[in-house]
């Protein structure tokens, strides 16, 4: 493969990756914990969009339980978002292997 052709292919992959990243920033996943007492929405770019807590779960004596539910739901949502991101990025770079590119 010529260097010029390789550079064009790399530019195309770069453009696809930028489009995917923009798409991932708007795509969301949702995870719940505690039977729905906590709901976390994460963006597929790896950030959290929102956390909702059912007011009935806010008993001060249950603070540790609520904290654990928030942590569980957040980790689940971020794991789902990461899986989607990895899958989408893998589509763009399939068949294009350069050391140091990814």
Q: What is the pLDDT of residues 60-93, one digit of tens each?
A: 898 899 999 999 999 999 999 999 998 988 887 7
Q: Region 40-58: what's the mean pLDDT? A: 92
Residue 96 has pLDDT above 70, yes or no: no
Domain 3-92: which CATH number of 3.40.50.10420, 3.90.70.10, 3.30.1310.10, 3.40.50.80: 3.30.1310.10
pLDDT value at residue 102? 47
pLDDT at residue number 97: 59
* Mean per-residue pLDDT of the chain: 87
Tell whether the model's pLDDT for residue 36 goes beyond 80: yes
Q: In terms of pTM, does the model score above 0.85?
A: no
Q: Report CA-CA distances (Å) from 90 to 33, 43, 70, 96.
A: 30, 18, 30, 10
Q: Which residues pair with 28 in a beta bridge?
A: 43
As a whole number, mean pLDDT of residues 28-54 equals 94
Confidence band for 21, pLDDT divided at 50, 70 and 90: confident
Q: Domain extents for the chain?
A: 3-92
């Amino acid at each position: 493969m010529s260097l010029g052709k390789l550079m064009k292919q790399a530019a195309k992959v770069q453009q696809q990756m930028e489009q995917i990243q923009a798409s991932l920033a708007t795509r969301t996943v949702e995870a719940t914990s505690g039977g729905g007492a906590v709901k976390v929405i994460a963006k597929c770019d790896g950030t959290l969009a929102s956390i909702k807590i059912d007011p009935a779960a806010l008993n001060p004596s249950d603070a540790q339980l609520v904290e654990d539910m928030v942590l569980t739901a957040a980790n689940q949502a971020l794991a789902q978002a990461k899986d989607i991101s990895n899958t989408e990025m893998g589509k763009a770079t399939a068949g294009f292997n350069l050391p140091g590119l990814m």
